[in-house]
């Protein structure tokens, strides 16, 4: 399997829950996934600050995109799904841009470990995550645009 191009990955993962969060991918490679989200009231918990689950979801989303991209570029194929997400919330914010960067710590045939940092518009760390992924085969019948199978 191979990934035809970065734009195909952005198009594939730029929908669903990640899109509902407002994640805009800016860089997608096997070694780095970066993006931004403009935080607003839709991301708040009842007390007017960004809900911690938003950070957890951004971490798992970007790590999974990176894991998938690496599996495709390495020739292993398949996809990666989250099996553990440990996110620490370091600074509360209400609005503004948050930058997300996911980088690999370990990549193996069965599992991967990714570190994700989320910073505010002033470059201050607002949350950090460690996400463990399980490498799995694509479920039967699932196709991914931009991914080709075969030799």
> CATH homologous superfamily of domain 1-84?
Hotdog Thioesterase (3.10.129.10)
The pLDDT tens digits of the residues spanning 37-66 come to: 999 999 999 999 999 999 999 999 999 999
Using CA atoms, how far apart are residues 15 and 62, in angstroms rounded to an integer? Answer: 13
Using CA atoms, how far apart are residues 89 and 117, in angstroms rounded to an integer? Answer: 11
Query: Is position 41 annotated as part of the catalytic site?
Result: no
Average pLDDT for 116-122: 98
Q: What percent of the chain has pLDDT over 70?
A: 86
**What is the pLDDT, as a whole number, of residue 2?**
40
In this prediction the pTM is: 0.89
**What is the pLDDT, as a whole number, of residue 138?**
87
Residue-range domain boundaries for the chain: 1-84
Q: Using CA atoms of 95, 98, 21, 145 in order, give the dihedral in degrees to the nearest 10.
A: 160
Using CA atoms, how far apart are residues 22 and 1, in angstroms rounded to an integer? Answer: 29
**Tokens 């607002």, located at residue:** 126
Say which of 6, 60, 101, 137 is annotated catalytic: 60
């Amino acid at each position: 399997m191979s990934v035809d191009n970065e734009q195909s990955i952005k198009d594939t993962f730029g929908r669903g829950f990640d899109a509902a969060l407002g994640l805009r991918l800016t860089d997608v490679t096997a070694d780095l996934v970066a993006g931004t989200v403009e935080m607003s009231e839709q991301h708040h918990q009842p007390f007017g600050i960004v809900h911690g689950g938003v950070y957890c979801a951004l971490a798992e989303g970007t790590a999974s995109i990176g894991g998938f991209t690496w599996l495709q570029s390495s020739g292993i194929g398949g996809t990666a799904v989250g099996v553990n997400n440990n996110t620490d919330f370091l600074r509360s914010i209400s609005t503004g841009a948050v930058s997300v960067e996911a980088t690999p710590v370990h990549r193996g045939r069965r599992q991967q470990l990714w570190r994700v940092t989320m910073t505010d518009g002033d470059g201050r760390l607002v949350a950090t995550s460690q996400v463990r992924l399980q490498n799995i085969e694509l479920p039967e019948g699932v196709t991914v645009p931009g991914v080709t199978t075969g030799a």
